[in-house]
């Protein structure tokens, strides 16, 4: 005899399965439709963005030529982003922007739109907001961007904040602010920190700030325990070794005050790169730390005959690399260095004779 | 007798209920993964830097140089094209180290001809023991291309040899039949540039079959006509766009494809390089997880969807079966070798979420699927199954699969917009759904067989097709 449950449940099961099938069919159809709609929408958005960038670029061209063109009022992030992109395309990613252009950008209201995006819960919108802030180049956005960066946890956005900071800075003290910001995040890679440090200095240079004006800031940054050799390298790359000579004393003073072997070695290498002599070089020839000793020996190339004796002594070092560096430096130390090498040809120690012979044979005068 | 029959029937019934439950859990997991990836990619697609910004960013900072290592065994058909594509990559400092792993075909001769190789002395650090190296060559035309010719020792051995000879701090392994997108390294390098804790990252691997290649670059991205290839495209989309995105976000990414991944070389050397196994790509990531946890190193392993590497997939069924057999053996071997991570909270989510996922969903999945099919047939034979229920259930499983496929194609459109034509996207989604009509069942059987062949270490011969566009 069929009970009620035996009669009903199979039907219920079948009915439920039909409902599930229906749900799947509807959602698959919806997915297919949204696939098409999304593609169409994405293409239209890209096209519209390009058109807006072109329009802003034309207006900027006219503005830069002294024309009476004005930039369009900005109401959405998309428009602010297009304006920023046009500015970057027209003027490059960093550097000086004419006051008339900055004034025109201010009048569009783009800054307020970009800053509002930084409040968004959606991290992609914050990302676009920060990119736009950087691209707009308005110096007054520097402080809000830095404040925002300190509170931002997303690494991708934080990285972009630093870059935006280098686009927005307008005075030497901003380098210090950016340096502190990079130092606040231990998970940020060293390469990126130094890259941004270099970018910041380069950006100031493009705005016509003389290297001497950077002295106080650089002293602050390089005296920090987080600064290392790569910051020196970044400095040389940013300023150029010829112009860096004006801040040589700062570098040397910082190195002396810090008494950090890596930083001293970096300073010695900077001096070598600049081709400048300083007493700090002689002080570290023969240092127990091999890295420091070799850096000092190599930096001695730029010094006079008085450095020949201490360098020549290093030819007797038990370390091959030290002897090698000493031999090479002596070859670059004018006639006195050459003479010292000739004398060492008759040294009683075979390794000294060998290195002197090698240097005289290989190194062209 | 009747009682025995009833008891068997009841046991079978319970068993089948368990199988149904497993089906729900497996498909439910994939659905959750897809929905999670959906949300994540929808957001992150708005935050992908365009190429100009990426270039400006990376030029202003110190991108770490990369050694691209391409292990090659009998790859005369595709290797030259792969290297040409790698030469055109947009990245400031990189080298290409091709390791000819004792090829018995014309691989080396073709390389010599195509790149003007000259023998050279190049010191290696001999950090890892490998089969002897016969000669080292450098290209006269492209100085960044090096070729190491060595005795055959398998893919892991070739990669270790590449590690010994590579100069740069980041190590990128790619397959010999793959084409990297020109900005793929830049997008990966950008992540390594920002995040100090990043130790390994994998990019998307996409199907090259059907695409138009000109001058070693992908000129037109199209879906192929073959049903088999379209099914594999959907599988790749599901695996990368849904699976890896979600596992990556859950800090449980346990595999970086051997076709395209970048690693910190010092850590790979610290764990002794690649282990000689058929699944060296999964094994290396698992060992990196273990090493970093045991050494208390803060680390991250990312999946980054935007950088793309295009690779050929098998275009015939026997090759596909061999490939999937190898993948399953690799999975079993990697999980077994690193079993100490399983359910171990010391390894964080990698141990408590990633490993169980790979064990129960990926490894046991085919077994459960196979038992389910057999059970259904048995129940049908013994009249223990309501035919209408069976039909409806089968329909649901196909529709659920179709839903996952369509969602994966949509995910791809969110991020990469690779297939320009809507027709291509629809074709992939629809043809991909045919996997439930035979394809999936056959692969389930093959993977089940492979589970018990784990002691076999051969790779199985792979038939390569010439990459279209520069066919000689």
- Per-residue pLDDT tens for B415-426? 666 777 888 888
The radius of gyration computed from the CA coordinates of chain B, to the nearest angstrom, equals 23
* Pairing assessment for the beta strands B198-207 and B300-311 based on DSSP bridges: parallel
**pLDDT computed for residue B140 by the predictor:** 85
- Per-residue pLDDT tens for A8-22? 667 777 788 888 888
Cβ separation A192–B193 shorter than 8 A: yes
A83 in Cβ contact with A110 (< 8 Å): yes
Rounded mean pLDDT, B173-191: 90
Percent share of chain A, pLDDT over 90: 13
- Per-residue pLDDT tens for A288-333? 888 889 999 998 988 888 888 899 999 888 888 888 889 889 888 8
**pLDDT computed for residue A167 by the predictor:** 87
- Per-residue pLDDT tens for B147-156? 999 999 999 9
Q: What is the C-alpha to C-alpha distance for residues B124 and B146, in angstroms, rounded to an integer?
A: 13
Task: Choose from A44-48, B9-13, B215-219 the range with maximum mean pLDDT.
Answer: A44-48
pLDDT band at B470 (very low <50, low <70, confident <90, very high): very low
**pLDDT computed for residue A187 by the predictor:** 83
Kindly list the distances between the CA atom of residue B279 and the CA atoms of A216, B82, B239, B290, in Å, as whole numbers in the listed order.
56, 22, 17, 17
Here the ipTM equals: 0.75
User: Which comes out higher in pLDDT, residue B277 or B202?
Assistant: B202
**pLDDT computed for residue B458 by the predictor:** 66
Q: Is A10 on the interface with B (CB under 8 A)?
A: yes
Domain ranges of chain A: 50-168, 169-245
Cβ separation B399–A25 shorter than 8 A: yes
**pLDDT computed for residue B471 by the predictor:** 38
Rounded mean pLDDT, B345-355: 93
**pLDDT computed for residue B173 by the predictor:** 93
DSSP for A251-287 reads: HHHHHHHH--HHHHHHHHHHHHHHT---HHHHHHTT-
Cβ separation A39–B422 shorter than 8 A: yes
Structure tokens belonging to residue B15: 């068993």
Secondary structure of residue B71 in the 3-state scheme: strand
* Nearest by Cα to B403 from B5, B96, B90, B30: B30
User: Which comes out higher in pLDDT, residue B435 or A240?
Assistant: B435
Mean pLDDT of chain A: 83
C-alpha angle with apex B313: B308 to B319, nearest 5 degrees?
155
Q: What is the C-alpha to C-alpha distance for residues A271 and A190, in angstroms, rounded to an integer?
A: 23
Rounded mean pLDDT, B401-428: 81
Rounded mean pLDDT, B183-194: 88
Kindly list the distances between the CA atom of residue B270 and the CA atoms of B275, B287, B295, B311, in Å, as whole numbers in the listed order.
13, 10, 11, 30
Q: Is A31 on the interface with B (CB under 8 A)?
A: yes
Secondary structure of residue A223 in the 3-state scheme: helix
Mean pLDDT of chain B: 86
Which residue reads 């006051």 in tokens?
Answer: A99
For B418-456, b/e burial (b = at least 16 CB within 10 A) is bbeebebbbbbbbbbbbbbeebbeebbebbbebbeebee
CA A234 remoteness from chain centre: 8
Q: Is A206 on the interface with B (CB under 8 A)?
A: no
Rounded mean pLDDT, B390-401: 81
A207 in Cβ contact with A95 (< 8 Å): yes
Rounded mean pLDDT, B247-263: 92
Percent share of chain B, pLDDT over 70: 92
Cβ separation B196–A34 shorter than 8 A: no
Comparing A82-86, B297-301, B468-472, which segment has the lowest mean pLDDT?
B468-472
Provide the β-strand partners of residue B261.
Answer: B173, B202
pLDDT above 80 for B45: no
The enclosing H or E element of A110 equals helix A110-117
> Which of B47, B193, B413 is facing A189, going by the closest CB pair?
B193
Q: Is A32 on the interface with B (CB under 8 A)?
A: yes
Contacts of B194 (CB under 8 A, 6+ apart): A155, A156, A158, A159, A188, A189, A192
Comparing B182-191, B214-223, B285-294, which segment has the lowest mean pLDDT?
B214-223
**pLDDT computed for residue A9 by the predictor:** 63
A267 in Cβ contact with A232 (< 8 Å): yes
Rounded mean pLDDT, B223-229: 89
pLDDT above 80 for B212: yes
pLDDT band at B472 (very low <50, low <70, confident <90, very high): very low
Comparing B21-30, B38-47, B137-146, B399-408, which segment has the lowest mean pLDDT?
B38-47
Q: What is the C-alpha to C-alpha distance for residues A265 and B88, in angstroms, rounded to an integer?
A: 38
pLDDT band at B468 (very low <50, low <70, confident <90, very high): low
pLDDT band at A356 (very low <50, low <70, confident <90, very high): confident
Query: Mutate which of B38, B62, B407 to disrupt the A interface (most A C-beta within 10 Å)?
Result: B62
Kindly list the distances between the CA atom of residue B403 and the CA atoms of A242, B90, B305, B432, B437, in Å, as whole numbers in the listed order.
65, 37, 21, 11, 15
pLDDT above 90 for B109: yes
């Amino acid at each position: 005899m069929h009970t009620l449950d035996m009669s009903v449940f199979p039907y219920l099961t079948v009915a439920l399965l039909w409902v599930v099938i229906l749900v799947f069919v509807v959602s698959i159809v919806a997915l297919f439709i949204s696939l098409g709609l999304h593609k169409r929408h994405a293409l239209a958005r890209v096209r519209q963005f390009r058109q807006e960038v072109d329009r802003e670029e034309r207006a900027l061209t006219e503005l830069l030529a002294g024309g009476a063109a004005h930039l369009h009022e900005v109401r959405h992030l998309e428009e602010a982003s297009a304006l920023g992109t046009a500015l970057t395309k027209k003027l490059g990613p960093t550097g000086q922007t004419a006051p008339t252009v900055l004034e025109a950008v201010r009048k569009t209201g783009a800054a307020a739109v970009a800053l509002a995006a930084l409040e968004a819960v959606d991290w992609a919108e914050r990302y676009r907001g920060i990119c736009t802030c950087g691209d707009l180049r308005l110096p007054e956005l520097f402080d809000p961007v830095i404040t925002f960066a300190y509170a931002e946890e997303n690494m991708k956005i934080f990285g972009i904040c630093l870059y935006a900071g280098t686009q927005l800075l307008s005075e030497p003290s901003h380098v210090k602010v950016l340096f502190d910001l990079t130092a606040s995040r231990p998970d940020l890679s060293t390469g990126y920190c130094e890259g941004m440090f270099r970018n910041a200095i380069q950006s100031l240079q493009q705005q016509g700030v003389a290297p001497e004006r950077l002295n106080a800031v650089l002293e602050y940054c390089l005296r920090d325990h987080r600064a290392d050799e790569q910051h020196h390298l970044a400095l040389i790359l940013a300023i150029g070794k010829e112009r860096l000579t004006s801040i040589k004393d700062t570098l040397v003073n910082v190195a002396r005050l810090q008494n950090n072997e890596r930083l001293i070695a970096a300073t010695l290498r900077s001096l070598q790169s600049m081709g400048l002599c300083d007493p700090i070089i002689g002080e570290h020839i023969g240092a127990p730390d091999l890295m420091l000793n070799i850096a000092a020996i190599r930096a001695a190339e730029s010094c006079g005959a008085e450095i020949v004796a201490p360098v020549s002594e290093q030819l007797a070092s038990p370390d091959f690399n030290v002897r090698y560096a000493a031999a090479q430096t002596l070859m670059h130390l004018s006639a006195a260095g050459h003479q010292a090498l000739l004398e060492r040809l008759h040294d009683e120690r075979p390794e000294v004779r060998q290195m002197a012979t090698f240097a005289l044979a290989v190194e062209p005068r | 007798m009747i009682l025995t029959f009833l008891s068997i029937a009841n046991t079978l019934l319970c068993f089948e209920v368990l199988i149904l439950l497993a089906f729900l859990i497996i498909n439910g997991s994939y659905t959750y993964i897809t929905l999670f990836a959906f949300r994540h990619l929808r957001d992150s697609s708005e935050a992908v830097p365009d190429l100009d910004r990426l270039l400006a960013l990376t030029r202003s900072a110190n991108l770490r140089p990369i050694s691209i290592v391409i292990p090659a065994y009998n790859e005369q058909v595709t290797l030259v094209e792969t290297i040409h594509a790698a030469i055109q990559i947009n990245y400031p400092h990189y080298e290409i180290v091709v390791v000819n792993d004792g090829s018995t075909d014309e691989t080396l001769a073709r390389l010599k001809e195509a790149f003007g190789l000259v023998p050279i002395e190049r010191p290696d650090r001999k950090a890892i023991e490998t089969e002897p190296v016969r000669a080292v060559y450098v290209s006269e035309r492209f100085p960044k291309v090096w070729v190491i010719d060595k005795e055959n020792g398998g893919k892991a051995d070739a990669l270790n040899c590449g590690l010994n000879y590579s100069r740069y701090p980041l190590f990128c392994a790619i397959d010999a039949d793959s084409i990297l997108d020109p900005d793929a390294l830049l997008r990966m390098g950008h992540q390594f540039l920002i995040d100090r804790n990043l130790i390994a990252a994998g990019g998307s691997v996409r199907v090259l079959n059907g695409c138009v290649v000109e001058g070693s670059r992908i000129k037109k991205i199209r879906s192929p006509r073959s049903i088999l290839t379209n099914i594999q495209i959907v599988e790749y989309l599901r695996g990368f766009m849904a699976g890896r995105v979600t596992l990556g976000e859950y800090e449980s990414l346990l595999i970086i494809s051997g076709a395209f991944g970048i690693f910190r070389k010092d850590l790979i050397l610290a764990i002794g390089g690649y282990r000689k196994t058929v699944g060296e790509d999964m094994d290396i990531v698992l060992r990196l997880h273990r090493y970093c946890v045991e050494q208390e190193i803060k680390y991250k392993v990312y999946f980054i969807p935007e950088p793309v590497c295009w690779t050929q997939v098998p275009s015939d069924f026997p090759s596909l079966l061999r490939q999937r057999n190898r993948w399953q053996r690799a999975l079993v071997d990697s999980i077994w070798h690193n079993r100490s991570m399983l359910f171990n909270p010391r390894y964080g989510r990698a141990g408590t979420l990633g490993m169980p996922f790979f064990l129960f969903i990926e490894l046991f999945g085919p077994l459960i699927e196979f038992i389910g099919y057999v059970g259904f047939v048995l129940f049908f034979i013994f009249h223990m199954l309501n035919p209408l229920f069976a039909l409806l259930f089968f329909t649901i499983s196909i529709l659920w699969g179709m839903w996952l496929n369509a969602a994966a194609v949509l995910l791809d459109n969110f991020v990469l917009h690779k297939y320009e034509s809507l027709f291509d996207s629809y074709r992939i989604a629809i043809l991909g759904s045919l996997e439930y009509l035979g394809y999936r069942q056959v692969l389930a059987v093959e993977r089940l067989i492979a589970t018990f062949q784990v002691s076999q270490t051969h790779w199985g011969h792979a038939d390569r097709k010439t990459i279209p566009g520069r066919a000689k």
